């Protein structure tokens, strides 16, 4: 009888820990979009999850790979720091912010694809698989195109795996230099306020139908670090603002970010 009680108790707590979060589900419902969001405390492991089945499903990494790719580029000496110039070759791109010289910091913040392709050529395709395996980063299908693999579906990752990467990044548990982590933190900083700092990266895998929009990152508060990973189906470019909108509203709903 005690064993039965303990088993039921365990199941009850397990169900509670992985229960669908109603606040987050409401945000997706109101936006009329399918997706998932995982929020987890790096300190306590407390979690809020919407659509746990999808959270385990891999999708094209797209520009969220820039988080790990930045560390790789720095470690491999492809670039020296946040302010080093990445020279524009005068190719005209649809996104006007790309049509100029960049730094690592600006390239990360405007999600400059050609900039990270330039870095990828400097790193070299053969050096990527060991870094990706070491970081336990998603799944890389080989052979792959050395400047397209995070865009063309060769590299996929789930929201749950994004959270695991963010844990390693914030704990600095991957064997990278302190200076590389410091530079990544500099380029990832999205918002600095009195009570919190937000570090984040968007992504958009547009080569499938529907596309996949990403928003991943973490929030440092006084007492805690909260990791988050969202992905959602994108039907057109008009859906892209929903990535940040839903994630940030969920963080506000959980009291991690202050209410507007």
Is the peptide bond preceding residue 143 cis, with omega within 30 degrees of 0?
A: yes
Catalytic residue among 14, 63, 154, 180: 63
Looking at per-residue pLDDT, the higher value among 164 and 260 belongs to 164
Has this prediction a pTM greater than 0.75? Answer: yes
Q: How confident is the model at residue 172 (pLDDT cuts 50, 70, 90)?
A: very high
For residue 143, count CB atoms less than 10 angstroms from its CB and return exposed for 0-12, middle for 13-18, buried for 19 or more: exposed
User: What sign has the CA pseudo-torsion 150, 156, 162, 167?
Assistant: negative
Q: Is the pLDDT of residue 15 over 70?
A: no
Q: Is the pLDDT of residue 5 over 70?
A: no
Cα 249 from Cα 244, distance rounded (Å)? 8
Q: How confident is the model at residue 16 (pLDDT cuts 50, 70, 90)?
A: very low
Identify which of 107, 136, 123 has the alpha carbon closest to the alpha carbon of residue 74.
Answer: 123
Query: Which residues, 6 or more positions from 80, have their beta carbon under 8 angstroms from its beta carbon?
Result: 74
Residue 41 annotated as catalytic:
no
Write the pLDDT tens digit of every residue in 222-252: 889 999 999 999 999 999 999 999 999 999 9
Domain boundaries, the chain: 20-253
Across 120-144, average pLDDT: 98
CATH code: domain 20-253 is 3.40.710.10
In this prediction, residue 114 carries a pLDDT of 98
Q: How confident is the model at residue 4 (pLDDT cuts 50, 70, 90)?
A: very low
Which three-class secondary structure state does DSSP give residue 102? strand
Contact between residue 190 and residue 199 where contact means Cβ atoms under 8 Å apart: yes
Write the pLDDT tens digit of every residue in 63-93: 999 999 999 999 999 999 999 999 999 999 9
Q: Is the pLDDT of residue 185 over 70?
A: yes
In this prediction, residue 18 carries a pLDDT of 61
Q: Is the pLDDT of residue 14 over 60?
A: no
DSSP state of 23: H
């Amino acid at each position: 009888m005690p064993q039965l009680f303990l088993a039921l108790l365990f199941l009850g707590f397990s169900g509670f820990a992985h229960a669908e979060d109603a606040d987050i589900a409401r945000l997706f419902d109101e936006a009329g979009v399918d997706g998932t969001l995982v929020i987890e405390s790096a300190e306590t492991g407390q979690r809020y999850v919407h659509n746990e089945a999808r959270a385990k499903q891999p999708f094209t990494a797209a520009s969220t790979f820039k988080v790990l790719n930045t560390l790789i580029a720095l470690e491999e000496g492809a670039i020296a720091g946040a302010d080093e110039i990445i020279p524009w070759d005068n190719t005209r791109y649809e996104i006007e912010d790309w049509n100029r010289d960049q730094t690592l910091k600006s390239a990360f913040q405007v999600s400059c694809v050609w900039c990270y392709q330039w870095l990828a050529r400097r790193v070299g395709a053969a050096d990527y698989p060991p870094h990706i395996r070491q970081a336990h980063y998603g799944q890389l299908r080989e052979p792959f195109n050395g400047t397209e693999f995070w865009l063309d579906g060769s590299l996929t990752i789930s929201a749950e795996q994004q959270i695991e990467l963010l844990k390693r990044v914030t704990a600095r548990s991957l064997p990278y230099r302190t200076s590389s982590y410091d530079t990544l933190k500099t380029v990832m900083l999205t918002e600095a306020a009195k009570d919190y700092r937000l570090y984040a990266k968007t992504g958009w895998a547009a080569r499938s139908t529907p596309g996949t929009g990403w928003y991943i990152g973490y929030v440092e508060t006084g007492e805690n670090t909260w990791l988050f990973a969202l992905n959602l189906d994108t039907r057109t470019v008009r859906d892209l603002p929903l990535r940040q909108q839903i994630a940030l509203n969920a963080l506000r709903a959980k009291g991690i970010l202050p209410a507007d």
